[in-house]
Amino acid sequence: MLTIKVLGSGCPNCQKVEENARQALTMLRPPGGYELTHVKDPLSISEYVLKTPGLVINEKVVSQGRIPDPSEIMTWLADALLAAE
């Protein structure tokens, strides 16, 4: 199972990262499912990144301070699935 966290206050950029992550998950359809959460608490965010928006997959920071496109996120998700095997 994949655990995905979008880090940010809920601004338009953070919402776009969440939307792109959902698109990537829809395309990939990870076996075992996934859990996607949007972390908005500043203290919790600071445990992972200094710049938002941030994206964490299976407790690994894969992006911060920018909006990755769905295909890039899909690559990270596939890598996380391989690492979990």
Q: Which residues are catalytic?
A: 11, 14
Helix (H, G, I), strand (E, B) or coil at 33: coil
* Residue reference for tokens 């920018």: 66
CB atoms within 10 A of CB 82: 8
Whole-number Å distance between alpha carbons of 57 and 82: 12
